[in-house]
Homo-oligomer: A and B are copies of this chain.
Amino acid sequence: METKPTRRGSKQKMAVLDATKRLSNHPTAEDIFFKAKEEIVSISFSTVYRNLGILVKEKELIPISGPGSEIHYDHVINNHCHIQCRVCGKVRDMNVPAVDFSGILPSDASGFTVDGVCVTFTGTCRDCQVETDTKGEQK
């Protein structure tokens, strides 16, 4: 039996993946929407969200959720750590070794089976450190 020769990525789906890769700094769905719009002016928010969900399932992207309400997306899918600014919400990579969860037993994990780990540091980015009078709103 063949693996079904199902439809390849649609133009929109590819635009979403491309936009995420070109933005590269852990963009939000909104960031991705506007970047993808540069390629496909008619693309909708709905389509971006749907394809982000698909791309996460296909392990082309990783979702990063932190203290802020928005989900950020990462096209670098290996296990690494992030830091998020408490003030402006921006997410960057952390240059520290990632936590290894391969040896964890269910007994360590309250009976859960473990399939991943997300290490997110919190702090203040350089832009937001410059006093609170210029309010840090940049991405």
Point out residues on A near B: beta carbons under 8 Å: 63, 65-67, 83, 85-86, 92-96, 99, 101, 104, 107-126, 129
Contact = CB atoms under 8 A, between A and B. Distances in A.
Contact of A124 (B63, B94, B112): B112
B104 A125 contact: no
Given A66-B118, A67-B63, A117-B119, A125 B96 contact: no
Contacts of A66: 65, 118
A64 to B, nearest CB: 10
7 contacts: A66-B118, A85-B112, A86-B115, A94-B104, A94-B110, A114-B121, A115-B124
Copies of the protein in its oligomer = 2
Contact of A110 (B63, B93, B109, B112): B93
Contact of A101 (B114, B115, B118, B121): B121
A114 B83 contact: yes
A12 to B, nearest CB: 25
Interface centre among A108, A110, A111, A118 (most CB of B within 10 A): A110
A23 to B, nearest CB: 16
Contacts of A113: 123-124, 129
Given A63-B67, A65-B66, A96-B104, A121 B125 contact: no
